[in-house]
Amino acid sequence: MTVPVLFPLGEEMGFNPLHFALVIMMTLLIGTVTPPLGVLLYVAAGIGKVSVAQAIKESIPFVCVMIATVVVVALVPAIVTWLPGLQQ
């Protein structure tokens, strides 16, 4: 619901649309594995037959890496745009 509002703002600020979309998708993914709404977290706990608290504890290193990756991609857009840029 926020992308139709934020995308025009990102374009006005000069963000590459591909870069902007990728950062949005990565942050949405982090939201699916973190509480309180972490749908994928609950699914993983159910599949693994462990408690949600145990799943949260075990997923902390992965979430930290995901957050670090989003920060790097957000700060260095060339990581995302170099391959499509080769086609031009």
Rg (CA), the chain: 16
The pTM of the full predicted model, rounded to 2 decimals, is 0.80
User: pLDDT-derived band of residue 88, with 50, 70 and 90 as boundaries?
Assistant: low
Phi/psi of residue 4, each to 5°? -60, -25
In this predicted model, what pLDDT tens digit does every residue of 36-82 receive, in sequence order? 888 999 999 999 999 999 999 999 999 999 999 999 999 998 888 88
Parse the chain into domains and list their residue ranges.
18-86
Kindly tell me if the per-residue pLDDT of 14 is higher than 90.
no
User: What pLDDT, on a 0 to 100 scale, did the predictor assign at position 30?
Assistant: 92
Q: Where are the alpha helices (DSSP H) in 1-88?
A: 3-12, 17-32, 39-48, 52-75, 78-86
List CB contacts of 52: < 8 A, sequence separation 6 or more: 35, 41, 42, 45
